[in-house]
Amino acid sequence: MSRWRRRTTAAGEPLPPTRRNTEFLLLVFAVLVPVFAYANVGLARHGSIPPDTAKYGLGLGLLVLIAHILVRFFAPYADPVLLPIAALLNGLGLVLIYRLDLETPKAQAASSQLMWSAIGVILFAAVMIAVRDHRSVGKYAYLAAAVALFLMIVPVFFPAINGAKVWIRAGAFSLQPGEFAKIILVVFFASYLARTRETLMMIGHRFCGVNLPRGRDLGPVLAVWLASVGILVLERDLGTSFLYFGAFVVMLYVATARIGWIVVGLILISVGAFVVGSAEPHVHSRVQNWLDPFASIHAGLGPGQLAQSLFCFAAGGLLGAGLGLGHSILVGFAAKSDFILATVGEELGLTGIAALLVLYALLVARGFRAGLTAPDTFGSLLAYGLSAVLAIQVFVVAGGVTALIPLTGMTMPFLAQGGSSVVTNWALIALLMKISDRGRRPLAPIEEPVPLPEEVHA
């Protein structure tokens, strides 16, 4: 048998396509759609195309071009659909915020949202360049847990804004650390569950038909989760605590393949929601508003935010009133953030809402696909966790503004006003692309034995 081998090429066989040209064509579409929407808003409101339409298109196009070039160099086999969907949602969000800015000339938000989008692409680039292999992220699990808890504790020492203590505000600058913590916490969950997965599946105690792991195996991750949820309850940010809980349960189910965890999770979240909704005044008022969104009208106080949102969806009908022709600004101060979906419902109708939800569903599905093709357990769990964060956030926001569930104060990913949200979502997309790149790469070339020098001479 040969004592040394030489790596050879695959005998002239072509490597699989990277699909980067496909991604480029989809990006062109993802830029053109918001540009046409931007021009449509100007035509609808003023009868002319906004003079800065070309400037807006070039700015958005430059951002996605930079991201695309970086993907070509640092993740050439990444999923070609993830980046275009993120760019399209970000572009449409800028158009919707600009459209609502026309109703609030003294409170412009589109320019700052564009700046935050640029910072998000910078963070996307940083992840692309710094994270050469997604598996390296898993080495810092406990550091990630400490950083996530620190980020969630900091807002406790700042004043509450709109009933929740989740912001750090210094002058005109504001930041929501919990948005960054959600990704970092998923990294910790994925790393810990990847290491203890076998133990969690094989060793434990059976209780009420559910195999529960030993406390010392699940204890550390459960402690971090309980601490994070406890902090968020103190901050009255139950939407984010629900997001963490949902992602944790999904990752635990994926790691152990036991559906009992889903049942346990649903029971725990139902009990927790009932207790907190009954005891915490801020949450209790939201529950009451959900149960009777028209109570303020019956009391002669006019429609509240949720009632106004429902009126927007009703006015939009199947095809909507037309982009730029709605009155969703009547929702109030949260029209550009928590309730931006009401603008879509009124001006683009059920058709626009359905198209938007399909985009989100496709984004989540491609994230799950990255988890399926990931070559390692940590990468798989990380992709599932990040995708679950996106899916839960969309469900919670859409369910809240349509009165399916109580409002939680979260923002629609990429679409709503919120610098912290858009920045962290770009980082989330970068991680998913790095995982998909590793999973879609062709296998290493087949190594062929090379005869030893003495064998050649013989």
Q: Bridge-partner residues for 174, per DSSP?
A: 169
Mean pLDDT of the chain: 84
Structure pTM?
0.88
- Average pLDDT for 153-173: 75
Tokens for 379, please give them. Answer: 């990468």
Q: What is the pLDDT of residue 74?
A: 95
Q: Do the Cβ atoms of 362 and 82 come closer than 8 Å?
A: no
Compute φ and ψ for 107, nearest 5 degrees. Answer: -135, 70
Is the predicted pLDDT of residue 272 greater than 80, yes or no? Answer: no
State residue 175's pLDDT score. 82
The mean-pLDDT minimum among 46-50, 174-178, 196-200, 348-352 falls in 196-200
pLDDT value of position 284: 79
pLDDT tens figures, 83-128: 999 999 999 999 999 999 999 888 889 889 999 999 999 999 999 9
Residues 47-70, mean pLDDT to the nearest whole number: 92
- Give mean pLDDT, residues 156-169: 74
Name the residue with higher pLDDT: 275 or 370: 370
Q: Quick check: 203 and 250 in contact, CB under 8 A?
A: no
Q: How confident is the model at residue 232, as a pLDDT? A: 60
Predicted local confidence at residue 451, as pLDDT: 53
Please tell me the least confidently modeled range out of 275-279, 369-373, 450-454: 450-454
pLDDT of residue 456: 46
List pLDDT tens digits, range 355-411.
999 999 999 999 999 999 999 999 999 999 999 999 999 999 999 999 998 887 788
Distance CA 243, CA 234 (A): 16
Confidence of residue 249 (pLDDT cuts 50, 70, 90): confident
pLDDT at 8: 47
The band of 458, judged by pLDDT with boundaries at 50, 70 and 90, is very low
pLDDT at 228: 61
At 77 the pLDDT is: 93
Residue 1: pLDDT band by 50, 70, 90 thresholds? very low
Q: What is the pLDDT of residue 455?
A: 47
Query: Domains of the chain: which residue ranges?
Result: 140-288
* pLDDT tens-place string over residues 311-320: 999 999 999 9
Q: What is the pLDDT of residue 92?
A: 95
Report the pLDDT value the prediction gives residue 5, as an integer from 0 to 100: 47
Give the mean pLDDT of 4-19. Answer: 62
Query: Mind listing the pLDDT tens digit for each residue in 399-449?
Result: 999 999 888 778 899 999 988 899 999 999 999 999 999 988 876 654 555
| pLDDT the model gives residue 209 | 62
- 201 and 161 Cβ atoms separated by less than 8 Å: no
pLDDT of res. 444:
61
> Of 365, 373, 385, which is closest to residue 137 (Cα–Cα)?
385
For residue range 197-243, what is the model confidence (pLDDT) as tens digits? 777 776 666 666 666 666 666 666 667 667 666 766 666 677 777 78
**pLDDT exceeds cutoff 50 at 27:** yes
Instruction: Give residue 84's pLDDT.
Output: 97
Say which residue the tokens 């189910």 belong to: 253
Residue 71 confidence class, pLDDT cut points 50, 70, 90: very high
Cβ atoms 338, 397 nearer than 8 A: yes
